[in-house]
Copies of this chain bind each other. A is one copy, B any other.
């Protein structure tokens, strides 16, 4: 293992000078700095994270806490995770995964939280450490989120532009901000453009959507497009349409939300709004790291910071 000392000897300086090249490069004469950097790459030197953690009173560990049953979890989190992990790795930080039942063990420098419900906020409050949410919140914590409004607005526009003349938004029956934003995206587009439209709210299960579409089939003329708030709903809609003898995408269009796994089950590959999950993960990690470094210097809460990331429509076979 190469240490600071090894580099120092080879470069004929004290180890402090080498340390400064890493932490306060501006305090070292440029030529000397260059030389030392050279030696460092030559020796393939990597600072020892444990030693830095020890002296810096940092753990160099970030915890990701997922407040949701893993059982029913979508692949969603896996991609988010990848983004977070990648970003943290680059900064010599390790990620620790904490689930509902194990979230007290070990120390860390900060938390990334997701899937939170109202009841969990008390716990968050007591953490007293830097925190970043994935998904919006109204209690003033920093967060990263997708632009739900924009996503559905664009899905709707796409459907309209493809010539579907009746638009149906199938939402999730839950009064959370993310859902309200999605509905708003739909409503604003169809209102502005005077398009025949309706909004339906269902429990987020495919068979519920299937049953609904089946029993209201006469209300969906040809040339209807369904903009769905989740892929589960989209799959359910597709099943119903096919069972009723409707043709996708010629007579009916379907747009899902965040299609990852479920596409492998749909008869036609779903046109779907893709959330940039990897990017969201990276953003959350970066935001948290910034908070950690900031908190070090100045105590006290800063203003809520929000990072909103746009989604992209991935066009496939369920729309024309």
Contact B74 A70 (CB under 8 A): no
Residues of A within 8 A of B (CB): 1, 46, 48-51, 53-54, 57-61, 70-75, 77-79, 81-82, 85-86, 88-90, 92, 94-99, 101-102, 105-107, 205-207, 210, 232, 235-236, 239, 260-262, 264-265, 267, 278
A49–B260 alpha-carbon span in the complex (Å): 37
What's the Cα separation between A64 and B169 when bound, in Å? 40
Tell me which of B49, B60, B72, B95 contacts A95 (CB under 8 A). Answer: B95
Q: CB within 8 A of A262: which of B107, B210, B265?
A: B265
Contacts of A1 in B (CB 8 A): 57
Chain B residues with CB below 8 A from A50, complex form: 50-51, 53-54, 58-60
A138 to chain B, nearest CB (A): 27
- Chain B residues with CB under 8 A of A102: 85-86, 89-90
Q: Once the chains bind, are A264 and B72 in contact (CB under 8 Å)?
A: yes
Q: Are A98 and B85 in contact (CB under 8 A)?
A: yes
- Residues of chain B within 8 A (CB-CB) of A54 are 48, 50-51, 54
If A85-B98, A264-B205, A267-B207 touch, whether A107 touches B46 (CB-CB below 8 Å) is: yes
Counted per complex, copies of this chain come to 2
Contact, CB under 8 Å: A89 / B96: yes
A260 in complex: contacting residue of B71, B232, B264, CB < 8 Å: B71
Measured between C-beta atoms, what is the minimum distance from A312 to chain B in Å?
A: 14
A60, B96: Cα distance in complex, Å: 12
* Other contacts beyond A50-B58, A74-B75, A90-B105: 8, CB < 8 A: A46-B107, A74-B261, A78-B78, A85-B96, A85-B99, A92-B106, A206-B265, A265-B265
List, in ascending order, chain B residues with CB within 8 A of A207's CB.
Answer: 265, 267
From known contacts A206-B264, A265-B265, infer whether A97 and B81 are also in contact, taking CB-CB under 8 Å.
yes
B89 A105 Cβ-Cβ under 8 A: yes
Nearest CB of chain B from residue A170's CB, rounded to whole Å: 15
Query: A86: which B residues are within 8 A, CB to CB?
Result: 99, 101-102
